[in-house]
Chains A and B, each alone.
Chain A
Amino acid sequence: MKKSPKIKIAMYWLAGCGGCEESILDLGEYLLDLIDKADILFWPIAADIKYDALKDMPDNHIDFSFINGTVRTLDHVKMARLLRRKSKTVTAHGSCAHLGGVPGLSGFYSSESLVKKAYEEAPSLADNKTTRDPAPDPQQLTERPYALSQIIDTDYYLPGCPTPPELIKSALLSFIAGELPQKGTVFGEKKALCSTCPLTDTRPDKIDLKKIRRVQTADYSPDRCFLDQGLICMGPVTRGGCFSQCIKANMPCRGCFGPLDNVSDYGAKAVSMLSSLIDENDIKKITSVIDQIPDPAGLFYRYSLTSSIIKKQGYRD
C-alpha cells in the first residue's frame, strides 16, 4: 500500500495564552504517530522555524493551519492573513479564535483605556521619584478584539477553552484521512451540554428560578442540576463535547464551547434561556430575581463578546 504523502500542518497563536498549544502537546503518544503522518512546517512554541521560512513558502503550501488566540494587534492581523495565503484550509482553534474568547472581553473598553490602565494607572507603577518611561503605543492594537473569522476566511472551528485533545485528535484524524467536513463546521456535538451532562437526570422539565445564588456563598449539592439549585449554568445554550469538565468538578458551565449551530448570538440565547426559567408573574418579583444576576453581559458574553451581533459597543470610559 503506497504510503500516503505526509500532510503539511502549521500551528500558530495570536492573542492566545498557550493553553491551546499545550493541549496539542497533550495528545501525548499520539504526537509520535502524528509526526509520521504530518510535517509540522510552523509551530513557534516547539520548533525553531522563523517567519522568513513561512514567508518564503509558496501560497496554499500548508494543507491545514490551526490558528488559536484572539486577533488583538495589527501584527496578528498581518500573521493571520499571511497564514491564510499560505494555507489551503484554516481551522480556528479554541474559543479565542472561534468566538473571541476571554480576551474578547477587552471589547468592553477602548484600546487606549486598556493601555492607559496598565501603563499609566496601575498602583504599582514607578511613582514620581523615578522618571517613568512612556507607555507603549496603543496604535499597535486593533481598535477592538476580533474572532479569527472576522479577519480571514475560516474553514473549520475547534471550540473550547482549551479545545480538548480528544477533539483535536478527531479533527487531525479526519484531515489525515482526507475526510474534510463541510466548510464552517464546528467540531463537537450538535446537542447542548445538558444532553451529556452527568446531572441531566436531576434536571426537572420545569425549572423555577426563585432566587439566583452564587458559587462562592452558596451551599449547593454536587449531585443535582446546578440551574435547578439557582446557580446560573450555561449548559442549556452551550454546545456539548467537552466531557462536562467543569460539571464534574462541581462547578457550573461557563459556556466556552459556544453556541449551538445556527445561533448567531450566544448572549441573546442566554437571555432567552434565563428569562424562561423565572416563573414569577409579578413584575416586582421578576425584577428582584433579575437584579441578582451578577454582571450579566460579562457572564453571557464571557467567551463570545466579539462575535455577538452587536459588534460595535459603545466604550465604557
Chain B
Amino acid sequence: MNPNPEIVAFFCQWCAYAAADNAGRARLNIPSNIKTVRVMCSGRVDPEFILEAFKKGADGVLIAGCIEGSCHYKTGNLQTAKRVMILSTVLKSLNIEPVRLRFEGVKADDPEGLLRIINDFNNTVSLLEPLSCEV
C-alpha cells in the first residue's frame, strides 16, 4: 500500500490543462500529490520523459490529452496512445506494473471528467508498493 503515491501528470495545453483550469475555477481541487507538467500536445511526451519520471521517484505517470479526433495537432493523441501501449509491454517485462502508466483523453469543458480520471488513477497507484527506482 502507498497512501500518498508520487504521481506525475502530463497535461496537454488545449484539452487537459484547460480542463484543469476550469476545475480550479469550479473549486474542484486536484490532489496535492499530483505534480502537473504542461505540454503543448500529449504527443510531445517522449517515452524518455516517462522513464525519467519513474526514475526520479514517480509511482505513477498519467498523460491527459484530447479525446480522439480533437487533438489540436490532429494525431498527437494517437501517437501517445501507441507509445503508452508499447511502453507498457516494456514496463511489464521490466517487472514494473503497467497500470502505473495511463493515457486518457479529456474534454476542455469537462473538469469533473478530468478529476474522476485523476482520482481513479490515484487510487490504483496507491494500491501498489512505492516503485523506488534506484537513481
The answer to whether any beta carbons of A and B sit under 8 Å apart in the complex is yes
Residue B135 interfacial (CB < 8 Å): yes
Q: How far is the CA of A108 from the CA of B52 in the complex (A)?
A: 19
Chain B residues lying within 8 Å of A309, measured Cβ to Cβ, are 48, 51-52, 54-55
Taken together as a complex, chains A and B put the C-alpha atoms of A274 and B54 apart, in Å, by: 21
Q: Tell me whether B37 is interfacial, beta carbon within 8 Å.
A: no
Given contacts A276-B79, A281-B75, contact A297 B86 (CB under 8 A): no
CA–CA, A225 and B93, complex, Å: 28
Q: How far is the CA of A303 from the CA of B79 in the complex (A)?
A: 26
Q: Are A293 and B55 in contact (CB under 8 A)?
A: no
Contacts of B54 in A (CB 8 A): 309-310
Interface residue tally for chain B (C-beta within 8 Å): 29
Instruction: List chain A residues, Cβ under 8 A from B47.
Output: 265, 267-269, 271-272
Contact with B along A146-163 (1 / 0, CB 8 A): 000000000000000000
Chain A residues within 8 Å of B132, by CB: 312
Which stretch (A96-104, A176-184, A185-193, A282-290) binds chain B? A282-290
Contacts of B87-121 to chain A: CB distance below 8 A: 87, 89-90, 92-96
Docked-complex contact A295 and B93, CB < 8 angstroms = yes
B86 is contacted by which of A264, A271, A295 (Cβ under 8 Å)?
Answer: A271
Expressed in whole angstroms, the Cα–Cα distance for A181 and B99 within the complex equals 44
- Asked if A134 CB lies within 8 Å of chain B CBs, one says no
B51 and A265 contacting across the interface, CB-CB below 8 Å: yes
The chain B residue sitting closest to A298, CB to CB, is B93
Complex interface: chain A residues within 8 A of B134 (CB): 311-312
Q: Which residues of A contact B78 (CB under 8 A)?
A: 281
Specify which chain B residues have a CB less than 8 angstroms from the CB of A281 in the assembled complex: 68, 75, 78
Whether B86 lies near A275 (C-beta < 8 A) is: yes
B85 to chain A, nearest CB (A): 5
Interface residues of A in 252-279 (CB under 8 A from B): 263-265, 267-269, 271-272, 274-276, 278
CB atoms of B135 and A311 under 8 A apart: yes
Query: Which chain B residue lies CB-closest to A287?
Result: B85
Query: Are B48 and A264 touching (Cβ within 8 A)?
Result: yes
Asked if residues B86 and A313 are in contact (CB atoms below 8 Å), the reply is: no
Say if the beta carbon of B16 comes within 8 Å of chain A: no
B86 near A274 (CB under 8 angstroms)? yes
Is B83 part of the binding interface, using a Cβ–Cβ cutoff of 8 Å?
yes
* Chain B min CB distance to A264 (Å): 6
B64-75 Cβ-contact flags toward A at 8 Å (1 or 0): 000010000001
Residue A314 interfacial (CB < 8 Å): yes
- Please indicate the chain A residues that have their CB under 8 angstroms from the CB of B75 in the complex: 281
Q: Flag if A275 contacts B79 (CB, 8 Å).
A: yes
Minimum Cβ distance to chain B for residue A291 (Å): 8
A290 touches B48 (CB 8 A): no
- Report whether A275 and B83 are in contact in the complex, using a CB–CB cutoff of 8 Å: yes
B90 touches A300 (CB 8 A): yes
Bound together, the chains give a CA A272 to CA B84 distance in angstroms of 9
CB-nearest residue of chain A to B89: A296
Which residues of the other chain, A, contact B79 by a CB distance below 8 angstroms? 275-276
Q: Given A267-B90, A268-B51, A290-B89, A310 and B96 touching (CB < 8 A)?
A: yes
CA A272 to CA B54, docked complex, whole Å:
17
Given the interface contacts A310-B133, A311-B55, does A268 sit within 8 Å of B48 by beta carbon? Answer: yes
Is A308's beta carbon under 8 Å from chain B? yes
| Interface hub of A269, A296, A311, A315 (most chain B Cβ within 10 A) | A296
Instruction: Report Cα–Cα, A315/B96, bound state, in Å.
Output: 9
Cβ B81 vs Cβ A286 within 8 A: yes
Proximity string of chain B (25-64) to chain A, C-beta cutoff 8 Å, 1 when within and 0 when not: 0000000000000000000001110111011000000000
**What is the CA–CA distance of A52 and B131 in the complex, to the nearest angstrom?**
44
| Most central of A293, A301, A310, A315 by chain B CB within 10 Å | A310
Q: Using CB atoms and an 8 Å cutoff, list the residues of chain A in contact with chain B.
A: 108, 263-265, 267-269, 271-272, 274-276, 278, 281, 283, 286-287, 290, 293, 295-298, 300-301, 308-316
